[in-house]
A and B are shown apart, each in its own frame.
Chain A
Amino acid sequence: MAGQQVHMRVWRGDASGGDFKDYRIAAGEGMVVLDVIHAIQAQQANDLAVRWNCKAGKCGSCSAEVNGKPRLMCMTRMNTFEPGETITVSPMKTFPIIKDLVTDVSYNFEKAKQVPAFRPKPKEPDGTRRMFQEDIDRVQEFHKCIECFLCQNVCHVIRDHKENKPSFAGPRLFVRYAALEMHPLDSNDRVDLVKQKAGIGFCNITKCCTEVCPEHIHITDNAIIPLKERVVDRYFDPLAKVLKLFSSKNK
């Protein structure tokens, strides 16, 4: 689609309101949606607000909704749309608008502050920390998270019910809790917090978060469900309660 005119509808506005604005602009070969947004910014709307950094799907800055689908703009190729199709770009819906495509994602950073820190066990007698690859594969999957917050954006618990935000941490943070809980060296315990303050019980496993994850992290199956199981084991399983008497930490 070298040099082809494309028709973009981009949401412009701020917290007080706004609307879609139409732009027609030439799109070069191989361009992604973010390239076109940048071209609009350079040529037609210098003050168009958009976040971006790496342009290669590694930093998670340019999250938006493209034709209603939560996407990284830098990884959405223009040639995935039909020729002549109008492409609509709007900001993530779950977070308050700052301006145009930029939203206030501070919710996520506040929730991150509440996560109890990594607390390593003592070292091996020889002073090393030995871990085996097969024991960390699962946690490394969680560490792939680029914090694009698309999973937070699609999660019904907060997308449709903003009032849940104070009592719900969201899928991104569950991935983080899971990463810490399953870290072979960690000795901290966050299960009570996951149930209470982080509100994992709100999640009804619709897997919307997993579907939009650009890093293909199995958020629901590998992070949320195992965390739910730990909560169940601790709070609702009488056998586990007995076993807990014999082990200080149910890892």
Chain B
Amino acid sequence: MAAEKYETHEYDVIVIGAGGAGLRAAVEASAQGCRTALVCKSLLGKAHTVMAEGGIAAAMGNVYPEDNWKVHFRDTMRGGKLLNNWRMAQIHAQEAPDRVLELEEWGALFDRTKEGLILQRDFGGHRYARLAHVGDRTGLEMIRTLQQHAVHRGIDVYMECNLQRLLLDSGRISGAFGYWRESGKFILFKCKAAVLATGGGGKAWKVTSNSWEYTGDGVTLALDVGADLMDMEFIQFHPTGMVWPPSVRGILVTEGVRGDGGTLKNNKNERFMFNYIPEFFRAETAETEKEADAWYEDKRNNRRTPDLLPRDEVARAINSEVKAGRGTPHGGVFLDIASRRPGDYIQRRLPSMYHQFKELADVDITKDPMEVGPTCHYAMGGVRVDADSTATTVPGLFAAGEVAAGLHGANRLGGNSLSDLLVFGRRAGLYAAEYVRNQPGSVKVDNEQVDSYAKELLAPFDSKGGENPYTVHSELQDCMQDLVGIIRTEAELRKALVVIGQLKERSLKLRVEGNRHYNPGWHLALDLHSLLTFAEAATIAAIERKESRGGHTRDDYPNTDARFAKVNIVVRRNDGTLSITQEPLPEMPDELKTLVEEKK
């Protein structure tokens, strides 16, 4: 039999990606009785979730009893500039506390309040201290807890295994095909359902907090089998990445620095965020330094510091300060906690930031300010999903976490990512299991199709061209950084499309040295397909949205436009080319509208 040429495994559900969403999905699918495989590109426990620092947003009310899901829902919707899928935002706010408590049941140890409950920290755009955390290494705690729980459940894990194609049987998911990174040999999964939990595509930009894994795989796998993408124009540039030395540019500096009292300053020692409070957030933001500083201790009588406006606002403000010549020597702004909090407090609350700056930049953050600037961090857009079930538009295909679109609208609030992974990771596993239960019989894999995929994946070894995959990748990063960055214009976006087109051509002529045995050059050559797809989808969506909103700022359309407030930009593949449509947002029920419209 032709298929037996390849190592073949059969499962009910395969989960692609083993960060927070993938692990949580696999745990759930397995708990539902499904034969479940977890497939990941790195070793288990190294996925992007491990780098998350600040915390998990969940309205548990441990610090402020007046917090509840309605306030969290409101903050999330307003942070997303009301472009969020309201139902996802509602489910997320309602279920996040249970998901956090569940981690505690599985052994996680969050920092505690004086009463012995889970401590919650302030973060941008959140009305109350809401982030369950462990110092500044919350992601590590979360991934380790989930990883160990998954291992104890006996879930089969395929590490350093890269799935490159999804397979269909009569329009439904029937499997996936890829390779082992170690041996370079192919591997075929037959399955009834697949969960995408692959994260974003930030590695298409040059200054990024994202690792090598962030190549837009899930978005591309989904698009290649006919699923819809949505909101691809919204890319979050985190306001505070390291800027110096050049080799560390882009590495994340947690928003927890500001949550714990740090403030942004320009080279005139001004707390410039007071000059950038948008009308939309004016009623809930402090106007004076005195009020802002008092807010940390007393939220009932003071309004939130503008240092903790949503990330899109802060990133744009930093960009403007630097452009106006008020930046630091290395082209960032100052982030100062040293002059505002005692050294031992900083070391206790932000140990890994202390360590990171000390080791990589020779800066002692308990004595001196940090230099920070925006870094590509997160894709709000991705695969379009059903709000309740995480089902994509392809039967049997589900998506959760960063790869899915909808929850965060035009801009994600800090802390809402880790909670997203837990809430929708669980739902993906649950609904994938339900889907499988309704699919009696077995699935078929088209062997000829698999053979042709195998041939495609080996093509770089036979190429007559001389293109170096690292060079093509680096040029794509320059293009996206310069032309599809924080501030965009039609002319630059169109230029980017031309460059992406040229790079696609060149990517057909990649040359790979060596053999299939653990060969990063070959792996990158294959990942370029998804990087370029992600970049193209983000760029065409950015051209279509002729307004500024959240993580999409157009210099040629600097204001929000009511016409675009009602639509998502949807990307599909038709006959090989990407097409764009504007589709109406789901209508929010009136009682939720009332919540969102509250000014304070």
Contact = CB atoms under 8 A, between A and B. Distances in A.
Interface of A: 14, 28-32, 35, 41-43, 45-61, 75, 77, 98-100, 102, 105, 109, 112-113, 115, 117-118, 120, 128-133, 136, 139-140, 143-147, 180, 183, 185-186
Contacts of B360: 30, 32, 56, 75, 77
Nearest to A99: B518
Interface of B: 42-48, 50-51, 101, 104-107, 109, 111-112, 115-117, 134-135, 137, 140-141, 144, 148-149, 151-152, 159, 182, 211-213, 244-248, 251-252, 352, 355-356, 359-361, 468-471, 474, 512-515, 517-522
B361 A132 contact: no
Given A53-B46, A54-B51, A60-B46, A77 B359 contact: yes
Given A30-B244, A133-B111, A46 B520 contact: yes
The 3 closest A-B pairs by CB, nearest first: A30-B245, A46-B521, A130-B116
B109 A140 contact: yes
A177 to B, nearest CB: 12
Given A45-B513, A133-B111, A143-B144, A57 B355 contact: yes
A45 B512 CA distance: 10
Contacts of B109: 131, 136, 139-140, 143, 183
Nearest to A102: B518
A128 B518 contact: no
A117 B151 CA distance: 9
Nearest to B522: A47
Contacts of B159: 109
Contact of B247 (A35, A42, A60, A144): A35
Nearest to A146: B140
B212 A131 contact: no
A51 B521 contact: no
Given A49-B518, A49-B520, A112-B148, A32 B513 contact: no
Contacts, number: 159
Nearest to A60: B46
B151 A112 contact: yes
Nearest to B519: A47
A128 B106 CA distance: 14
Nearest to B352: A58
A4 B234 CA distance: 39
Contact of A61 (B43, B116, B513): B43
Contacts of B107: 118, 120, 180, 183, 185-186
B356 A56 contact: yes
Contacts of A35: 247
Given A46-B513, A53-B213, A58-B51, A28 B520 contact: no
30 contacts: A28-B245, A28-B247, A30-B244, A32-B360, A35-B247, A42-B474, A46-B468, A46-B519, A50-B520, A52-B211, A52-B212, A53-B47, A53-B50, A53-B51, A54-B51, A56-B360, A57-B352, A57-B355, A57-B359, A58-B137, A59-B46, A59-B51, A109-B44, A132-B116, A133-B112, A139-B109, A140-B109, A146-B50, A183-B109, A185-B107
Contacts of B135: 140
Contacts of A185: 104, 107
B251 A55 contact: yes
Given A30-B247, A140-B134, A46 B469 contact: yes
Would you call the interface of chain A mostly helix, strand, loop, or mixed?
Answer: loop
Given A56-B251, A58-B51, A139-B109, A99 B148 contact: no
B521 A47 contact: yes
Interface centre among B211, B361, B515 (most CB of A within 10 A): B211
A199 B251 CA distance: 40
A51 B42 contact: yes
Given A28-B247, A58-B50, A58-B51, A49 B140 contact: no
Nearest to A132: B116
A12 B115 CA distance: 55
A120 B474 CA distance: 49
Nearest to B139: A58
Contacts of B50: 53-54, 58-59, 146
B74 to A, nearest CB: 26
Contacts of B117: 128, 130
Given A30-B361, A56-B360, A131-B116, A144 B211 contact: no
B222 to A, nearest CB: 23
Nearest to B41: A53
Contacts of B522: 47
A28 B520 CA distance: 23
B230 to A, nearest CB: 28
Contacts of A61: 42-43, 46
A143 B137 CA distance: 10
A52 B43 CA distance: 10
Given A46-B520, A47-B514, A54 B211 contact: yes
A41 B519 contact: no
B143 to A, nearest CB: 9
A46 B251 CA distance: 24
Contacts of A47: 512-515, 519-522
A52 B160 CA distance: 12
Given A54-B211, A128-B116, A185-B104, 14 more contacts: A30-B244, A30-B248, A46-B512, A47-B513, A50-B520, A56-B356, A57-B359, A59-B211, A77-B359, A109-B44, A115-B148, A118-B107, A120-B107, A185-B107
A113 B155 CA distance: 11
A58 B246 contact: no
Contacts of B148: 112, 115, 117-118
Contact of A41 (B44, B149, B470, B517): B470
Contacts of B211: 52-55, 59
A192 B48 CA distance: 36
